[in-house]
């Protein structure tokens, strides 16, 4: 295990443009057991919210996690801030120097490296990480404390992290953050309460709050889903320009593939806790390879009125199973049309063996036996593309 970790570490060290590399993340929530189950010594069952997920994010990149409700996007995002218990896995992250220093000072062993494995930090020592990685939640209504005014909401992260600044300096940062998210003049907003703002303005406050600590990575969890389409593009543009100005990276979570196409460099499509396909966003949307991605792409309505004359053909069967009851073999096989069509070849594979990732010529990773004539993914992903 130690050797393997070092191997991953070496690769991370030598690829300076990598910001984050997650390997084999599992987040399994234990299901409550009935007394009967305990007495009969039934094994503990889990909701496998995230089940062996690997991905990487480069500096100044927007990486997208997409998929249907319940597939594990938010849980994956939260794991990076250690907001959910990690079952296993590693997440090497190039934190800022000050953050690494602070971790070291608190007794976190970094082996002299310029990165930290977020998942290996003891639970009580993870706080400094939450300066470098911020999260923006989907709901601009629920995520801001209704009893605080905007000034206090924006000062809160600085207080939590005990930033050594005078009150004036903190206020100055608040003003700057408000200007960055184009709430001008800042004085007009500082004394207001969240309910005195529109949905779009609240989401701007959430973004400003995420920026206050100068993070390196922002997990943006469906940041525009609740907003009207007429102002969505404005928010996406804002996120884009902030990224360029501040050398940020995003893990951008969305269920909307059309949105992802405008903002994400690379994308991972998730199904039942697993990334089924990952690669360049445009390629995946133009030519989806995994049978689930194909269905997902085929299901998306488009603003073309000639579609009204036809029924949409979405190649998928049945309904999504529960994350507490993941099918054996390939987790998609009970719904997979490609499996039915290739029964002869796949009968002994899909229902029995969980597929590994196969790597396409254009650098895509696909979690499907259909592509078993391609190169198999080794321990670590290839991020040269």
Binding site for ligand ATP (CB under 6 A): 29, 47, 49, 69-75, 255, 323
Residue 62: which of 203, 212, 237 has the closest Cα? 237
What is the Cα–Cα distance from 48 to 325, expressed in whole angstroms? 8
Judged by CB under 5 A, does residue 74 bind Mg ion? yes
Binding mask of the shown chain, residues 27 to 66, with x at each position contacting Mg ion by CB under 5 A: ----------------------------------------
Phi, psi (rounded to 5 degrees) for 272 = 45, 50
Stretch binding Mg ion (CB under 5 A), from 67-75, 172-180, 201-209, 367-375: 67-75
CA–CA separation, 129 and 94 (whole Å): 10
Query: Using CA atoms, how far apart are residues 82 and 75, in angstroms rounded to an integer?
Result: 10
CA distance 187 to 206: 17
Residue 280, phi then psi, degrees to nearest 5: -65, 130
Query: Which of helix, strand or coil describes residue 319?
Result: coil
Under 8 Å between Cβ of 380 and 23: yes
Residues near ligand SF4 (CB under 6 A) are 291, 330, 332-333, 336, 338-339, 346, 350, 355, 368-370
Question: By C-beta, is 72 or 151 nearer to ligand ATP?
Answer: 72
Which one, 212 or 218, has the nearer CB to ligand ATP?
218
Rounded to whole angstroms, how far apart are CA atoms 21 and 93? 7
If one asks whether residue 143 binds Mg ion (CB under 5 A), the answer comes out as: no
Q: 264: which 2 tokens?
A: 């994400």
Cα–Cα dist 340/255, whole Å = 27
Cβ nearer to ligand SF4, comparing 103 with 346: 346
Closest distance of CB 232 from ligand ATP, Å = 14
Q: Which does 337 bind (CB under 5 to 8 A by kind): ligand ATP, another protein, Mg ion, none?
A: none
CB-nearer residue toward ligand ATP: 75 or 249: 75
Size of the site for Mg ion (CB under 5 A): 1
Q: How far is the CB of 111 from ligand ATP (least distance, A)?
A: 31
| Minimum CB distance to another protein, residue 230 (Å) | 4
Q: Which residue has the tokens 């995520």?
A: 143
Query: Least distance in Å: CB of 246 to ligand ATP?
Result: 26
């Amino acid at each position: 295990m130690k050797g393997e970790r070092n191997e991953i570490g070496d690769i991370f060290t030598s690829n300076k443009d990598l910001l984050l590399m997650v390997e084999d993340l599992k987040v399994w929530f234990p299901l409550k057991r009935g007394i009967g189950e305990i007495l009969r010594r039934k094994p503990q069952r889990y909701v496998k919210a995230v089940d062996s997920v690997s991905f990487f994010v480069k500096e100044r990149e927007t990486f997208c996690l997409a998929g249907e409700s319940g597939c594990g996007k938010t849980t994956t995002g939260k794991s990076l801030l250690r907001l959910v218990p990690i079952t296993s896995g590693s997440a090497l992250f190039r934190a800022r120097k000050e953050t690494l220093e602070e971790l070291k000072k608190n007794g976190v062993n970094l082996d002299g490296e310029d990165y930290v494995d977020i998942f290996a930090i003891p639970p009580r020592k993870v706080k400094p990480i939450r300066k470098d990685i911020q999260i923006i939640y989907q709901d601009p209504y629920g995520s801001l404390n209704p009893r605080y005014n905007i000034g206090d909401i924006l000062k809160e992260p600085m207080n939590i992290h005990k930033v050594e600044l005078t009150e004036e300096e903190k206020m100055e940062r608040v003003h700057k953050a408000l200007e960055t998210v184009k709430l001008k003049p800042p004085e007009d907003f500082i004394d207001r309460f969240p309910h005195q703002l529109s949905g779009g303005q609240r989401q701007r406050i959430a973004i400003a709050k995420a920026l206050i600590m100068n993070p390196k990575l922002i997990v943006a969890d469906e940041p525009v889903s609740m907003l009207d389409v007429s102002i969505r593009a404005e928010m996406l543009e804002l996120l884009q320009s902030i990224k360029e100005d501040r050398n940020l990276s995003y893990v951008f979570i969305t269920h909307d593939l059309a949105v992802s196409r405008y903002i994400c460099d690379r994308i991972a499509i998730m199904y039942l806790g697993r990334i089924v396909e990952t690669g360049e966003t445009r390629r995946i949307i133009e030519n989806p390879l995994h049978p689930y991605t194909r269905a997902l792409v085929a299901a998306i309505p488009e603003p073309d009125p000639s579609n009204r004359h036809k029924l949409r053909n979405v190649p998928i069967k049945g309904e999504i199973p529960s994350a507490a009851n993941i099918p054996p073999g390939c987790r998609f096989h009970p719904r997979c049309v490609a499996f039915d069509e290739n029964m002869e070849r796949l009968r002994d594979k899909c229902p029995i063996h969980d597929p590994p990732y196969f790597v396409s010529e254009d650098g895509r990773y696909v979690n499907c036996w259909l592509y078993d004539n391609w190169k198999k993914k080794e321990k670590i992903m290839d991020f040269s593309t």
